[in-house]
Structure 1
Amino acid sequence: MKYFNFIFLLVLTLEISAQSDAENIKKIYSQSLTDGKSYEWLRHLSNNIGARLSGSYGAEQAVAYTKEELEKLGLDKVWLQPVMVPKWIRGLPEFAYIETKQGKTTHVNICALGGSVETPNGGVRAQVVEVMGIDELKALGKDRVQGKIVFFNRPMQADLINTFEAYGGCSDQRYSGAYEAGKLGAVGVIVRSLNLRLDDFPHTGSMTYADLPVSQRIPSAAISTNDAELLSTMLALDPSLSFFFKQNCQQLDDVLSYNVIGEITGSEFPEEYIVVGGHLDSWDLGDGSHDDGAGVVQSMDVLRLLKISGITPKRSIRVVLFMNEENGLRGGKKYAEIAKSKNEKHIFALESDSGGFTPRGFSFDCSDAQFQKVLGWKELFKPYLIHYFEKGGSGADIGPLKSDGIVLAGLRPDSQRYFDHHHAANDTFDAVNKRELELGAATMASLVYLFDTYGTAVEITNDTFKD
């Protein structure tokens, strides 16, 4: 009899909890869609401040603005966490053309890749060798590469529904292309933009020279997808054509910047921490609205939505706006380093860094048992068309927090349009839909609410039901 009474009470408790959770989540969504702040914050961040590359004046302004806005929310703590970040500047706009014979040129759209060296004052002009990836480049060998401009033209795989998988499948040519080509004596690298559509926007992004001596470091630039198609076609007709490009970028000394942090202190377990965040820096071509202004303002609104929904967190919840995700990950590493030095117990971290499009769900980096617990919450999200709950990656900035016991998660919006804007001049405020952005903020706040309410421990065993 005691066994059945226990089961009855357990089921009744779970039903009451589920009803309460559903009501709180409904309230969170309602508040975000009728009284959200994320869109207005993003409007200012994008239109009044703009590009926020680490070490820039824009990044400095963004730190001051977001700190001020978090202070207005009446959080228990708001502070700046110092972090040294790289300072790379693009300089004057790049210029490039294809030359089929002396005096006959066709202008093309390029942009320097982040971290690239500049070209000589007179630019670089050379014949072109086209490859579909690093393995093909290595197979050519030094004799066929030395003195040439290497053109990496492997496109993102269009039949992959997961566009991040398509991105990952060819990002190595952007990141390591100049390193591999420089070892073979190339004089420059041109990389097809990582974009699934054909357009005239070159997409920048980080690259590395690794341990390559300075004397072998060659300029590296991205070319728009339309112009990559053009260059490939022209090479097929005339393999002896030349390519010219000029860029003026520079790598300067590291400078001081900050992570911006706000906290609601937990009412029951203040020594257990939940983090929600995005990265405050952006590339310099657009205004970084999708990457990652959207994640920044959604994360800020998570704490506000919990407060105005009348939810008192049990655990300490922090919003962390990380600096320098794009070209160094210094902010994420610094936050994790300091958390470890203080022996802070982080149980859950959620990042939004996949754009401000319609939320579809989350990916989780956690144990199988923890994931099964999360799946038990899936029905609560069904009314909001949130259906994607899968094990996988989380976010670059929260990755350094990974340890036994912690659950890491990434918001997963619909990604089909994301790479149309990623790292390009059209990553601008007008490309963000207000309702989609606010749905994302509510979805994040709802998951944070559940982890705060129930924690991450998986404690129910068969022994629980013994008389």
Structure 2
Amino acid sequence: MKKQVLFILLLLATYVHAQTDDAKQIEKIYRMALTEGKAYDWLNHLSNQIGGRLSGSVQAQQAVEYTKAQLDSLGLDRVWLQPVMVPKWVRGTPEFAYFETSPGLSTNVPVCALGGSVATPLGGLKAGLIEVKGIEELEKLGTEKIKGKIVFFNRPMDPTLISTFQAYSGCVDQRYSGAAEAAKYGAVGVIVRSMNLRLDDYPHTGSMGYGDTPVDKRIPAAAISTNGAELLSATLKLNPNTQFYLKQNCKQFDDVESYNVIGEIKGSEFPDEIIVVGAHLDSWDLGDGSHDDGAGCVQSMDVLRLLRKTGYRPKRTIRVVLFMNEENGLRGGNKYADMANNKKENHIFALESDAGGFTPRGFSFDCSDANFERIQGWKKLFEPYLIHLFVKGYSGADIRPLKNDGMVLAGLRPDSQRYFDHHHAENDTFEHVNKRELELGAASMASLVYLFDKYGIVPPQKIKG
């Protein structure tokens, strides 16, 4: 009995000692991030010297060259570029739209082409409108009521949902698939309410697709600001015969070569076990992509710098990956996963930051119950920094292709209430990023990577035959 008690006391002492060491290392990470962080300076350059980084653009290539140079300067064990073919879509001259309630009486409204849309005819497109709340209404209306008209998708994000990402998911189908579905009933164009909880004059772009719609049957698609959508909806109720005019000059070109930017610190004990931390380097072209996803890129870069600067020597290989083409194709994430699988690399943990540079609240995890139980045991280490959210859930689009039964995927979860005010819009700019909030996010990510590097993951249970 005495031996059992002594053994339990020994285990408890070892656990307390480990927790104390972990707490000290995490404190070092936060202190370093808040006093000597580099993320904000890096983001300043990406945003204000380069700007929006749409896949295939000159700015995207400049971002590749800049981030590679910064990673080279950190003294990592290896930095390289991974080629990937990406789509090249160009917006062209600024879009223009108005609605007309009677001949000569018109009101301009803010619009922007959706990413991947075709252009309007050279002289623009003018037609009557039919308002719907979602794709499912199209079948009920049928070709007779839709043919020759512009479909106005006006389903707002649900304001009652505390998770704004859940609200976004609840209505983004009309943006992505609205044009393809409306074309089946003879529509000549679509206008989509911006994915934004706030009422303002900024139209929000985003990816859309035509599915198997023949090229000659594809119709132009544009987003309208939330204020514009409210005004247009109210006008249609008063005058159903209102006409809408849209002109946009976007064009799809052949794919071009771009790159994922990758840097790593080789593990000292288990170099074949790989930990990834990353974000997407591309952005939309309306703003400068500071929150989506310049913030995630510079945070991910700073994770490796913070670990080195605090004197920590990783046991496992830690790799930062800045993925190209998340916004309109996910080519970078898929390419990285394909190459990893072809090389039979053993990825055990991947962490993504793609929810803005706002105050971090915690993490969501896609993993087994056994791994999540272990992760819950680390929660107290984060509580002094007000990181309380440890939940099972979505990780991130670029790391999702890596998923297998054994590894753990995670996503940084900042406060999301302001994120969709800026998402894919002209006001996603550097001045809307708070330096301290950005640095807290980088420190939280580095701390989680440290714990996974030190303790590894719980391996999957062997299936007994």
Question: TM-score normalised to the size of structure 1?
Answer: 0.98
Offset at 1:139?
1.3
User: Does the 8 Å CA contact 1:190/1:223 hold for their aligned counterparts?
Assistant: yes
Q: In the TM superposition, what is the alpha-carbon distance from 1:5 to its structure 2 partner?
A: 3.0
> For residue 72 of structure 1, what is the aligned residue in structure 2?
73
Q: What residue number does 1:344 align with?
A: 345
Asked if the contact 1:185/1:216 (under 8 Å) is kept, the reply is no
Unaligned segments of structure 2, at least 5 residues = none
Q: Kindly report which structure 2 residues correspond to 1:101-180, keeping only aligned pairs within 5 A, or say none.
A: 101-180=102-181
Q: Match for residue 233 of structure 2?
A: 232
For residue 179 of structure 1, what is the amino acid of its counterpart?
Answer: A
Work out whether residues 365 and 393 of structure 2, in 8 Å CA contact, stay in contact via their aligned partners in 1: yes
Hey, what's the Cα distance between the residues in 2 that align with 1:250 and 1:131?
Answer: 27
Deviation of 1:295 (Å): 0.1
Question: Which one-letter code corresponds to 1:153 in the other structure?
Answer: N
**Contact residue 373 and residue 458 of structure 1 kept, 8 A:** no
**Counterpart in 2 of 1:212?**
213
Distance 2:369 2:412 in 1: 19
Spell out, residue by residue over 1:364-394, the C-alpha distance to the aligned partner (whole angstroms, 9 max, x if none): 0001111011000000000000000000000
Q: Distance in 2 between matches of 1:13 and 1:75?
A: 33
Match of 1:252 in 2: 253
Query: Separation in 2 of the partners of 1:353 and 1:139?
Result: 37
The residue type paired with residue 359 of structure 2 is T
Q: Which residue of 1 aligns with 2:4?
A: 3
Q: Which residue does the alignment assign to 1:100?
A: 101
Partner of 1:411: 412
Alpha-carbon distance between aligned partners in 2 of 1:8 and 1:225, rounded to the nearest angstrom: 62
Matched, 1:201 2:202: yes
| Equivalent residue, structure 2, for 1:182 | 183
Helix, strand or coil at the partner of 2:381 = helix
1:16-95 alignment to 2 at 5 Å?
Answer: 16-95=17-96
Aligned to 1:463: none
Shift of 1:146: 0.5
Q: Deviations over 1:159-203 (max 9, x none)?
A: 100000000000000000001001111000000000000000000
Whether the 8 Å contact between 2:405 and 2:460 is mirrored in structure 1 is: no
Per the TM alignment, residue 142 of structure 1 is displaced from its structure 2 partner at its CA by 0.9
Aligned to 2:268: 267
Counterpart of 1:252 in 2: which secondary structure? strand
AA of the residue aligned to 1:25: I
**SS state at 1:39 partner:** helix
Quick one: distance in 2 between partners of 1:138 and 1:438? 49
Aligned equivalent of 2:425 = 424
Listed one character per residue, the Cα deviations across residues 423-456 of structure 1 (whole Å, up to 9, x for unaligned) are: 0000000000000000000000000000000001
Q: Report the Cα distance in structure 2 between the residues aligned to 1:315 and 1:10, rounded to whole angstroms.
A: 25
Aligned residue for 2:107, secondary structure, equals strand
Cα distance in structure 1, aligned partners of 2:85 and 2:238: 49
Distance 1:2 1:459 in 2: 32
1:456 equivalent in alignment to 2:451: no
Q: How does 1:350-429 map to 2 (within 5 A)?
A: 350-429=351-430
Which whole-Å CA distance do the structure 2 matches of 1:84 and 1:195 have between them? 31
The AA in structure 2 aligned to 1:148 is K
Provide the secondary structure at the position in 2 that maps to 1:141. Answer: helix
Give, as a single letter, the amino acid of the residue that structure 1 aligns with 2:138. L
97-106 or 189-198, which deviates more? 97-106
Between the aligned partners of 1:329 and 1:459, the Cα distance in structure 2 is: 28
Match of 2:315 in 1: 314
C-alpha deviation, 1:459, in angstroms? 9.4
For 2:284, the equivalent position in structure 1 comes to 283
Quote how far apart the aligned CAs of 1:138 are. 1.9
- TM-score, normalised with respect to structure 2: 0.98
Q: Which runs of 5+ in 1 are unaligned?
A: 461-467
- Aligned-partner residue type, residue 166 of structure 1: A
CA contact (8 A) 2:406 2:460 kept: no
Deviation by residue 1:227-257 (Cα, 9 ceiling, x = unmatched): 0000000000000010000000000000000
Q: Quote the sequence identity (%).
A: 71
Give secondary structure in 2 for the equivalent of 1:409.
strand
Q: 1:12: Cα distance to partner?
A: 1.1
Q: Distance in 2 between matches of 1:198 and 1:459?
A: 47
Match of 2:301 in 1: 300
The CA RMSD over aligned residues, in Å, is: 0.9
Q: Residue 118 of structure 2 aligns to which amino acid in structure 1?
A: V
- Describe the SS at the equivalent of 2:155: coil
The count of corresponding residues between Structure 1 and Structure 2 is: 460
AA aligned opposite 1:210: G
Rounded to whole Å, the distance in 2 between the matches of 1:216 and 1:380 is: 57
d(CA) in 2 for partners of 1:309 and 1:418? 31
* SS, match of residue 312 in structure 1: coil
* CA distance, structure 1, for counterparts of residue 114 and residue 332 of structure 2: 21
Query: What does the per-residue CA deviation read over 1:116-141, in whole Å, with 9 as the maximum and x for residues that have no partner?
Result: 00001011100000000001122111
Partner AA of 1:20 in structure 2: D
CA contact (8 A) 1:88 1:250 kept: yes
Q: CA deviation at 1:147?
A: 0.3
Moved more, 215-224 or 450-459: 450-459
